Structure 1
Amino acid sequence: MTQKNTRYGVGLMLLTTLIFASQDGISRHLADEYNVLMVVMIRYWFFAAFVIAVAARNAGGIRAAAATTQPVLQAFRGFLLAAEVCVMVVAFTLLGLVESHAIFACYPLIVAALSGPVLGERVSWRRWLAIFAGFVGMLIILQPGIRVFQPEALVALTAALMFALYALLNRLAARRDSAATSFFWTGTMGAILMTAIGIWSWENMTAPDWAWMALLCVTGAAGHFTLIKCYEVAEASAVQPFAYFQLVFASALGITVFGETVEWNTAVGAALIVCAGLFALWRERVASKRRR
């Protein structure tokens, strides 16, 4: 991979994190007023329409975009991401953006821990040390035994586990399918799942909130497209460290827009998790270069 492509990938990752952070803020606002399932369902309707339109304009059309030799894997990816979005939006309403993202920041470490059993990769003792350090950071955030444990924190942790698995399945799917195919299945399968479970939760929305919903739909489609393209043009080990900027952007939004505060344990724990994650990603990159 050339340096030029790596720089392009880093730019796409930074753009993706900014889009996702803005999307999280809009999702929190809407979920405070309306049913989470309905909010995510409408977002996925637009997402599915967008991916179908993109596929129709490409060579081969929709049939080429949908063509895959691993339909079960692709369908499960789409279902998993839609479910993860619902869980994370619930976490925003329970914990706020700052603490939810502080906990969610551990997902790269979960990816590192699961890369062995899921992808057959070797996890060195140094990466296991980083995973342990991230676990310590999680304990600092949760403070078990020091304060009353927040069951709501398990919601954000569940979202991190789900997204880590989704990231691993992306890498697995990319071995045989193009980014366009993965993008198509992500949008359509998520829309099918959310319509099946969300249509029963319909609520009337005000005109201003429909405008926010429209913006949420646009950011949702744009964010996932830039993320898929990011991994297509650059190595994951080179761009993944910049994914932590979502924590920065989302925390800034939570503090300035929603009036949230940053507790000392959240700041210290998140810093430890981020440092551990960056170290694990650096070791993964070193190991990858040695293999080549």
Structure 2
Amino acid sequence: MSVHGHNTRLGIMLMAAATLVFALQDGISKHLAAEYNTMMVIMVRYWFFALFVIALAARQSGGIRQAARTRQPVLQSIRALLLVTEICVAVYGFTLLGLVESQAVFAVYPLLVAALSGPVLGERVGWRRWAAIGTGMVGILIILQPGSGVFQTAALVPFASALLFAIYGLLTRYAARQDSAGTSFFWTGTVGALAMTFAGVWFWQPMVGGDWGWMAVLCVTGALGHYLLIKCYEVAEASAVQPFAYLHLVFAAILGVTVFGEVIRWNVALGAGIVVAAGLFTLARERANA
């Protein structure tokens, strides 16, 4: 079955591949950010990302001029700045907490999207989804364990990352009312690269040869991950494949335990399970309402 937009099996495979690539990217980012300034690492990554989106736009009908055309440049710029800030915060979180706990907390972002879709987009959020959002927040509290003596303020870093990503996602939906996905993608890469160049050039550090190799892999995986996502949404409906984005948490946990020697604490596993279950229920309700 190869009809455009209706090959769900292929879409699921592409989503799984994309989440695996993004998990590997997280691991490489954690390694490099532990050795070099986070701002510099993200800056180089965004340079390659910008080249990727420009090359992609040049191949489309109308070229770069068509991709850059928008009636909402302020909104597109804010989106791009939100994403680049979110990535910096997320990578910083990896260095503080590791992949397992960072991704466990970050998994709350679909619930934040649901909670904010009312005030931002004017969408109706029913009592079932509010119940799921509340349940997911209980899961986050189980992960964070406030008041237990083991709570780390560093755990708020991935939560801030999730909040930024949720707002970015909602603004992307809002921008889609007037702009194509290609236009939003173009602005995301180019504005993000400009912003990171202005911010990151002050933190430049010389890199050893081996780490330049890891940086090259980081850049390639970033472009590959986005390419797989684009193809995923081309062949399948977003509502059908979105639940499989949670594989990112699974892959990141495997990487954190096997490569970085992290330990999955019982409260993190339990809380993450609750958050994911609540998120899947929310996605199911959104699909049913649609």
- Give the alignment's TM-score, normalised by structure 1: 0.95
Deviations 1:4-41 (A, max 9, x none): 33333323322221111010000000000000000000
Question: By how many angstroms is 1:70 displaced?
Answer: 1.5
Aligned twin of 1:175: 177
Contact in 1 for aligned 2:97/2:154 (Cα 8 Å): yes
Q: 2:37 & 2:80 partners in 1: Cα distance?
A: 21
Task: Structure 1: give runs of 5+ residues left out of the alignment.
Answer: none
Letter in 2 for 1:25: G
Aligned twin of 1:79: 81
Letter in 2 for 1:194: M
1:40 aligns with 2:17: no
Q: 1:49 & 1:140 partners in 2: Cα distance?
A: 42
Deviations 1:189-232 (A, max 9, x none): 11011001000000000111000000101111222233344345
Letter in 1 for 2:238: A
Aligned twin of 2:219: 217
Question: By how many angstroms is 1:187 displaced?
Answer: 0.6
Aligned twin of 2:168: 166
Letter in 1 for 2:45: R
* 1:15-26 matched pairs, under 5 angstroms: 15-26=17-28
Aligned twin of 1:91: 93
* 1:58-73 matched pairs, under 5 angstroms: 58-73=60-75
RMSD (Å), alpha carbons: 1.5
Aligned twin of 2:11: 9
Instruction: Say if 1:172 and 1:9 are closer, same or farther in 2 by CA, change over 3 A.
Output: farther
Contact in 2 for aligned 1:101/1:250 (Cα 8 Å): yes
Question: By how many angstroms is 1:166 displaced?
Answer: 1.2
Q: 1:2 & 1:285 partners in 2: Cα distance?
A: 20
Instruction: Say if 1:69 and 1:226 are closer, same or farther in 2 by CA, change over 3 A.
Output: farther
Question: By how many angstroms is 1:62 displaced?
Answer: 0.8
| 3-state secondary structure, aligned to 1:225 | helix
Question: By how many angstroms is 1:161 displaced?
Answer: 0.3
Question: By how many angstroms is 1:145 displaced?
Answer: 1.5
Contact in 2 for aligned 1:183/1:228 (Cα 8 Å): no
| 3-state secondary structure, aligned to 1:152 | helix
Question: By how many angstroms is 1:146 displaced?
Answer: 1.4
Aligned twin of 2:277: 275
Question: By how many angstroms is 1:237 displaced?
Answer: 2.3
Q: 1:229 & 1:72 partners in 2: Cα distance?
A: 28
Contact in 2 for aligned 1:179/1:232 (Cα 8 Å): no
Letter in 1 for 2:95: T
Contact in 2 for aligned 1:35/1:203 (Cα 8 Å): yes
Aligned twin of 2:110: 108
Letter in 1 for 2:52: F
In the alignment, which of 135, 138, 159 is matched to residue 136 of structure 1?
Answer: 138
Question: By how many angstroms is 1:42 displaced?
Answer: 0.3
* 1:149-160 matched pairs, under 5 angstroms: 149-160=151-162
Q: 2:110 & 2:84 partners in 1: Cα distance?
A: 19
- Give the alignment's TM-score, normalised by structure 2: 0.95
Deviations 1:34-91 (A, max 9, x none): 0000000000011111111121222211101111122111111111111100000000
Aligned twin of 2:243: 241
Contact in 2 for aligned 1:183/1:225 (Cα 8 Å): no
Contact in 1 for aligned 2:25/2:218 (Cα 8 Å): yes
